[in-house]
């Protein structure tokens, strides 16, 4: 599907990461030292940020939103749209966004809801929030994207352990009739659902740790299986095949929809899946290396937060000077994908900050 966002600008960005770090190069765990070094070189991850309990992705996003509104000088009472994009909701219900609305002090007239998307979620979140602004009396929106995938990882899964990290982000949108149009392209193929998968935890396959199918108490064997099914499984070969099949056409279609080509894009910022995959995509579309962002060395794959995190970490000064014509694209779990071409800046310099020590947990 194609769409165009009109009369809306990206007013600011901020990312927040846990201060806790882990490097398989320094602490190889289930790997040999040589294996860990080769993995780091291939996937482009030297260390990851790990969010400890009781914190959740919402806490990282909330801290990002508070810092961003302060940086922009926004009164929370002027923000009437809040979209929380995450695969890691705090509760089965209510929607985490409702609790965030209250904590942030947004008005009760605000629309606040969750979008449970992962890798493509940033593009979808911006598009949804922008359309809400364009079709309502609201003038300002916050798109909060964050995940803590490390909590889904099995401690013996060598395919996922070195790759994923935790992060949260906030992006501010504002009505501005002078803003450049933002072309958007999206797509979905649910045939890929089993290839990036957490099977248990919802209603279909039981709740962890003790409730089995049909609502009865699970026996020991079933509880053990539920525990295994509650962990992330990733079919790397299928993910790689999907990415090379779907993403280059997505990027070309997004540029064509925007009336431009590779030469007309200042920076390409894709979901930071892994460096090996990103380099293949760069070569497929013949993008120059100096305009193609690969920035996950210190964070890992942070799912829905990876695009805004990469912008804040590697492009802050450039976006502050702006404008920077960017192609942003997310793709993966679902299968789901989305891309947009947007001018970023000039805006207050985007930042990456650590979650403050003692930050209050978002809880009810």
Count of beta carbons in the 10 Å neighbourhood of residue 351: 17
For domain 2-191+233-354, the CATH class is alpha beta
Query: Rounded mean pLDDT of the chain?
Result: 94
Q: Given its phi and psi angles, is residue 303 left (phi above 0), alpha (psi -120 to 50 degrees) or beta?
A: left
202-260 pLDDT tens trace: 888 765 555 544 555 566 777 777 777 888 888 999 999 999 999 999 999 999 999 99
Question: Residue 214 has what pLDDT?
Answer: 52
* pLDDT one-digit tens code per residue, 345-356: 999 999 999 999
- Whole-angstrom distance, CA of residue 136 vs CA of residue 201: 36
Share of the chain above pLDDT 90, in %: 82
Start-end of CATH 3.40.47.10 domains in the chain: 2-191+233-354
Looking at residue 338, what is its pLDDT? 98
Q: Is residue 114 pLDDT above 70, yes or no? A: yes
Cβ-contact 222, 212 below 8 angstroms:
yes
Instruction: Flag whether pLDDT at 84 surpasses 50.
Output: yes
């Amino acid at each position: 599907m194609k769409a165009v966002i009109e009369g809306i600008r990206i007013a600011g960005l901020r990312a927040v990461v846990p201060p806790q770090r882990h490097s398989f190069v320094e602490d190889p765990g289930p790997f040999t030292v040589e294996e860990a070094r080769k993995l780091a070189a291939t996937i482009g991850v030297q260390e990851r940020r790990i969010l400890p309990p009781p914190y959740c992705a919402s806490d990282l996003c909330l801290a990002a939103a508070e810092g961003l509104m302060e940086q922009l000088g926004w009164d929370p009472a002027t923000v009437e749209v809040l979209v929380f994009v995450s695969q890691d909701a705090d509760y089965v219900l209510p929607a985490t966004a409702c609790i965030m609305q209250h904590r942030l002090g947004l008005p009760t007239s605000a629309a606040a809801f969750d979008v449970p998307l992962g890798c493509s979620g940033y593009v979808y979140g911006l598009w949804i929030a922008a359309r809400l602004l364009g079709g309502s009396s609201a003038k300002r929106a916050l798109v909060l994207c964050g995940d803590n995938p490390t909590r889904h990882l099995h401690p013996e899964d060598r395919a996922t352990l070195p790759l994923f990290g935790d992060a949260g982000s906030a992006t501010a949108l504002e009505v501005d009739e002078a803003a450049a149009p933002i072309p958007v392209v999206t797509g979905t193929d649910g045939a890929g659902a089993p290839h990036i998968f957490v099977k248990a935890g919802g209603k279909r396959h039981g709740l962890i740790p003790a409730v089995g199918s049909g609502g009865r108490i699970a026996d020991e064997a079933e509880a053990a299986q539920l525990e295994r099914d509650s962990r992330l499984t990733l079919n790397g070969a299928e993910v790689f095949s999907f990415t090379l099949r779907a993403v280059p056409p997505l990027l070309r279609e997004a540029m064509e929809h925007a009336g431009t080509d590779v030469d007309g894009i200042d920076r390409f910022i894709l979901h930071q899946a892994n460096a090996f995959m990103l380099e293949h995509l760069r070569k497929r579309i013949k993008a120059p290396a100096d305009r193609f962002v690969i920035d996950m060395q210190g964070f890992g794959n942070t799912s829905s937060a990876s695009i805004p995190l990469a912008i804040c970490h590697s492009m802050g000064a450039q976006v502050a000077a702006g404008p920077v014509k960017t192609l942003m694209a997310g793709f993966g779990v679902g299968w789901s994908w989305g891309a947009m071409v947007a001018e970023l800046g000039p805006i207050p310099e985007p930042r990456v900050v650590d979650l403050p020590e003692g930050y209050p947990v978002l809880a009810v």
